[in-house]
Structure formats: structure tokens, C-alpha cells
Amino acid sequence: MYCYQCQEAAGGVACKSQKGVCGKPADVADLQDLLIYALKGIAQAVERGATRDEEVDTFVITGIFKTITNANFDGAVFEKDIAQALEIRDSLIQSAGISADTDALSFHLKGNLLDAVLRKNKMVEKASEVGVLATENEDVRSLRELLTYGVKGIAAYYEHAANLGKKDTEITDFIYKALAATLDDTLSADDLTNLVLECGKFGVNVMALLDAANTEAYGNPEITEVNIGVRNNPAILISGHDLKDMERLLEQTKGTGVDVYTHSEMLPANYYPTFKKYDHFVGNYGNAWWKQNEEFKSFNGPVLFTTNCITPPAKEYKDRIYTTGAAGFDGCTHIAADAAGNKDFSALIAHAKECEPPKEIEKGTITGGFAHNQVLALADKVVDAVKGGAIKKFVVMAGCDGRMKSRDYYTDFAKALPQDTVILTAGCAKYRYNKLDLGDIGGIPRVLDAGQCNDSYSLAVIAMKLQEVFGLEDINDLPIVYNIAWYEQKAVIVLLALLSLGVKNIHLGPTLPAFLSPNVANILVETFGIGGVGEVEQDIKEMITA
Ligand code: FS2
Ligand code: SF4
């Protein structure tokens, strides 16, 4: 096992012992590497002219998504997917009449070896030959992994959009191109750097696609006071990012006497007009993903994970964990879609009826729903506040939360911001400050939550609109600073997307990615002015009051 794809990589270097910091066992990490490698083989065949169909796209995209941090811990799922990936690869190669000659594909086809190994059930041994360390040059390795993680983020967002019927072959074409490129020894570091930047452009496209999918299906998010208390009915908690699953669950629980609450990244479902119509949709329970061990015990009812972030469940509640889509955990019930694409959540509903109602852990409300449409509806007010000097700066604090103590920085930073600043947020990073009473500026709350991590797209739309209103040539001339918290690979694509929009001087924390080699980190620093974070007081001086 050698995994360094997330911010919590052991020792700031990599998880390489029996278990990752996230709880991913070494054999599952190896199987994930093998699956990614097998999917790269499909990509090579596609790049060599094989015709893939939507079924192949779905398989590849979901496969990539399953390898994102905290999405799927089930080794059996990966074994099955690896075998299926090789079958798909071989049938693509055969139908396109591709021969294993001396070009890039031959690298993977040496992988007849891979097939032989698989037949002998020795997948894990093979994994060490195809994982991160298979690339010797540390800069090439760093760029290949950066590209792979960006693609993981694209795949995750693409899957949610596709679940709502929105597809775009330009995006899937890029996924194959990028995956195949990570096995191409003829590409230079410059070529790979260009691909990483192109990846950012597709990051913008996929977030726009998902934004259209979500808003066309469920309406534009609107200002909402979300209840964080509980009612006295049995209930189901839904976590993750997939809004189609949210809709299915609300429909199927209607009239059953079972309430529904959101958890972590599903909180923004409360902001959508369509979902507000369900009387049994009570509000949000708990905080960011890493507190689930405690909060799921007191929730009492079943929990449905539609995506990451799962932490290994404690035995007290493991039987109440259900997964669907790309999510999975061995020993927990997985609810797959049937051939017609429907999902049956009746087992969860029956389970909920046997459980006690949730125990109250908080009371009151939190405010959100400031995606682009809502903020632009307030544009006059916002522009007046900026012109009149009531708002001096916007601080984009989007991204992820995590369990490390060092993330207290973001709470302290939010508290220390001057009163004439407004935080623009998206993603689970918000839980570090969305329950602080930071007040408002002339009726504009000082924390504007656009939604899930993918709704960082909204923040970019807002920035571009302000640039237009103020007649600025450069997006970096706006009074906006970026202090972004990252954890997993969706944050990587959000970062690359912002870079592709020309945003400079982004601060990234709480630590820079372990997968950036010193030279690659330098490129990011020199070209885009990317920086880390330090002490709150000093950072406030440098970013805000300077
Ligand atoms: Fe938070 Fe985890 Fe949204 Fe990330 S709930 S770190 O998945 O993608 O953000
Ligand atoms: Fe470690 Fe993160 Fe990889 Fe988990 S995903 S094994 S915590 S680097």
C-alpha cells in the first residue's frame, strides 16, 4: 500500500502500513490501485480508436469514483470491478482490431501478465507494480497523480449529473485521454502540466453540468433557515452528495411516518424548492463527516450513504449503515439500482420503524442557500455594500473539513475576520464556522453558503458576475481572497477549476498535498501564486488587511 491522495496522508507523506489514516485496509488500497490501472487499460483502448458506449462510460466513471477517499472500503467490490474492467478492455481491443505493438498500449498489455495474475488470485501482489510508486521520476509521478486525482473529482461530479440524465461526451472523452496519458512514457513534464490545466477546464465544465442537472431537476437553491433540531418520529439520515438519491428517499418515505434528515454534504438539499415540499423532511442532523462516529450513535435510525465520506462504522451502529451508488463498506447493506435504474429503499424504511427517534444534539437553525441564482438576485444590495464600503472583502473559504486539530485554524480565521468581510463557502468546510454567530452586513449574512463542494462553481459564477459589474479586466482585481481547505480529490478538481478560470494567489491548507513534488509545487507557486496557510493573525494581516 502506498496512498497519498488525501490531505490526511500519514506523516504528511503517504499511508503505507496496514491501514490508512482513513481506515482503508492495505489490501483495499492495493485493489483500488489495480482498478485504476485496469481502467487506464480501457482508456488506452479508447484512445487507440475502440468505440465505447454509455455503459462503458458508466462503468469507468463509477469505478473511478469508488476509489475516492472514504467512498468505498469493500474489497470484494474492487475484485469484481477489476475482473470486469479487464473483460471490457479485452472486448474493446478485440472489436477495434488493436494489436499489441510497441506503442503505449503495449505497456498495459504486458498486462497479459496482469490477467494471468488475476486468474491466480494474486491481485494484491500485482498492485505494487502498478501503483503510485511504479513511476520512478518524482515529478512525472507527481503530475500523473495530480491528473489522476483531478479526474477522480471530475468522475464524481459527472456521475451525479448523469444520474439526473445530464451527459457530455467531451467530458468523458477527456477522462479517457487523461487516464491513458498517465501511462504514456513519451509525454514530457510540460505535456503533463498542460493536461493538468486542461483537466481544470473540464472541472469547470463538469461542475456547470452538475449545476444545470441539479437546478433543472429541483429548482434554484434559495435562502433557507435549516432546522438542526429533531422531531419525535423514527427517521433516516442521508449523507453524501447525490440529489437523485435524496429525491428517491423522500418519495419512498412519504406517508410512512418516517422522517428524513440530511447529514454533512447533503445539508444543501434543504435549500432546493422541490425538496422543501416534503413535510417529513425535517432538517440537518450533525456536522461534517468526521464526527459521524459519535453522531450516528445518537441518531438512532438507519443512515444512507450516497457517496463519501464514510468512516469505518463502530459496532453499535454498523447494522444501521446502508450504502448506494459508488459508496460501499464490507458488512453493510448495499442498495443497487435495478435494471430500470430504480432503487428500493424499503429495507431502510422498515429498519427505521424499529428504531428510536433521533436524540437531540443541537437546537435552532443555520442559514444557507446562497448559490449563484440567489446571490445574483441580491446583486444590487451586494454591489451597493461594496461600493459604499460596508463590505471590504469577500473570503472564499470553500472545500472540505477533516479531523485534524490543525483545522481549528479555519474556525479561528473566521472568527478573527474583520466585520466588513463576507465568507463565501461551499463544501463541508463550512461546518468549521457555520454555527458561529458572525452576524450580517445590512441584511447580507456574513457567511454565504452556496452548497456542496461542487457548488464552488456558484462561487466562480458570482465572482465572474462581480467582475462584469465592476468592469474589471482581471478576476484577480476583485476584492476576493481565497483561503481554501482541502481533504479529498474533489477539492483537487475544484482547485484546478479555479486555476483554469485565472484565479491567482489561492491559499490552500491546512497543508499542501503530499503528492506535489517540490518541483511541481514550485510550478504552482510561480505560475499561480498558490500558497499555504500559517498563523491566523499573520494570515489575516497578509490576506485581508494588507
Ligand atoms: Fe466533505 Fe467528504 Fe464534498 Fe468531500 S463530505 S470531504 O467528500 O466531497 O466535501
Ligand atoms: Fe491515507 Fe488518505 Fe489514502 Fe486514506 S485516502 S489511505 S488517509 S492518503
Chain segment 303-333, per-residue pLDDT in tens = 999 999 999 999 999 999 999 999 999 999 9
Looking at ligand 1, which residue's alpha carbon is closest to its atom 2? 309
Give pLDDT, residue 103. 43
Confidence at residue 500, expressed as pLDDT on a 0 to 100 scale: 96
Q: Compute, in degrees rounded to 10, the torsion defined by CA atoms 168, 171, 173, 179.
A: -150
Look over the chain and give the mean of its residue pLDDT values, rounded to a whole number. Answer: 94
Residue 47 Cβ contacting ligand 1 at under 6 Å: no
Average pLDDT over residues 220-245: 98
355: CA distance to ligand 2 center in Å? 33
On whether the CB atoms of residues 536 and 413 are closer than 8 A, the answer is yes
**CB 374 near ligand 1, within 6 Å:** no
Mean pLDDT for the stretch of residues 56-79: 97
| Chain length of the chain | 546
Residue with CA closest to ligand 2 atom 5: 69
3 state DSSP class of 4: coil
The DSSP output letter for 303 is E
What is the per-residue pLDDT for 94? Answer: 86
Ligand 1 pocket test, candidate residues 21, 241, 484, most atoms within 8 A of CB = 241
The answer to whether the CB of 282 falls within 8 A of the CB of 301 is no
Q: What is the pLDDT of residue 451?
A: 98
Other Cβ atoms closer than 10 A to 54: 11
> Phi first, then psi: what are they for 151, rounded to 5°?
-65, -35
H helix runs in 97-163, sequence order: 104-109, 112-119, 123-130, 138-163
List, for residues 125-179, the tens digit of each pLDDT value. 777 778 999 999 999 999 999 999 999 999 999 999 999 999 999 999 999 999 9
Alpha carbon nearest to ligand 1 atom 4, residue: 400
Distance between CA atoms of residues 133 and 464, nearest Å: 40
pLDDT reported for residue 99: 72
Q: How many angstroms separate the alpha carbon of residue 305 from the centre of ligand 2?
A: 19
- So what's the pLDDT on residue 453? 98
pTM equals 0.97
How do strand 393-396 and strand 480-485 relate by DSSP bridges? parallel
199 in a labelled binding site: no
From the DSSP assignment, how many helices (H) and strands (E) are in the chain? 20, 15
Residue 488 is assigned to a ligand binding site = yes
Cell numbers linked to 399: 472545500
DSSP for residue 280? T
Least confident of 180-189, 225-234, 360-369: 180-189
Lowest mean per-residue pLDDT among 47-61, 106-120, 225-239, 468-482: 106-120
Between 329 and 114, name the one with better pLDDT: 329
241 in a labelled binding site: yes
C-alpha 508/C-alpha 513 separation (Å) is: 9
428 is in an annotated binding site: yes
400 lines ligand 1 (CB under 6 A): yes
Give the pLDDT confidence score for residue 181 in this predicted structure: 96
What domains can you pick out in the chain, each with its CATH number? 10-217 (1.20.1270.20), 224-353 (3.40.50.2030), 378-545 (3.40.50.2030)
Q: Flag whether 225 is marked binding.
A: no
The answer, yes or no, to whether any atom of ligand 2 lies below 6 A from the CB of 29, is yes
| pLDDT exceeds cutoff 70 at 100 | no
CA distance 333 to 318: 10
* Ligand 1 pocket: which of 309, 310, 454, 495 to mutate (most atoms within 8 A of CB): 309
Peptide bond into 302 cis (omega under 30): no
Dihedral through CA 270, CA 497, CA 48, CA 90, nearest 10? -40
Q: How far apart are CA 273 and CA 364, in angstroms?
A: 21
Q: What is the pLDDT of residue 90?
A: 84
**256-297 pLDDT, tens per residue?**
999 999 999 999 999 999 999 999 999 999 999 999 999 999
Mean pLDDT value of segment 40-53: 93
Report which ligand 2 atom has the smallest distance to the Cα of 20: 6
Determine what percent of the chain is predicted with pLDDT higher than 90.
89
Q: With cut-offs at 50, 70 and 90, classify the pLDDT of residue 87.
A: confident
Best residue for ligand 2 mutational test, from 2, 3, 404 (most atoms within 8 Å of Cβ):
3
Residue 102 has pLDDT above 50, yes or no: no
Residue 318, marked binder: no
Query: How are beta strands 224-227 and 365-368 bridged, if at all?
Result: antiparallel
Closest ligand to the CA of 485? 1
**Which pLDDT band holds residue 113 (cuts at 50, 70, 90)?**
low
- As given in the structure block, the three cell numbers for residue 373 are 441564482
With a cut of 0.85, is the ipTM above it? yes
- Give the chain's radius of gyration (CA, Å): 23
Query: Which mutation among 400, 454, 486 tests ligand 1's pocket best, with the greatest number of atoms within 8 A of CB?
Result: 400
Name the residue type at position 362.
E
Q: pLDDT at position 392, please?
A: 97
CA 152 to centroid of ligand 2, rounded, Å: 14
**Gap between the Cα atoms of 62 and 217, Å rounded:** 21
Instruction: Decide: 9 in ligand 2 pocket, CB within 6 A.
Output: yes
Q: Which atom of ligand 2 is nearest to the CA of 23?
A: 4
Residue 400 assigned to a binding site: yes
Cα(394) to centroid of ligand 2, in Å? 32
Task: Give the atom of ligand 1 at the shortest distance from the alpha carbon of 241.
Answer: 3
- Tell how far the Cα of 346 is from the centroid of ligand 2, in angstroms: 34
- Is 325:245 a contact under the CB 8 Å cutoff? yes
Task: Report percent pLDDT > 70 for the chain.
Answer: 95
Ligand 1 mean position to 235 CA, how many Å?
A: 23
Q: Running DSSP on this structure, what letter comes out for residue 545?
A: I
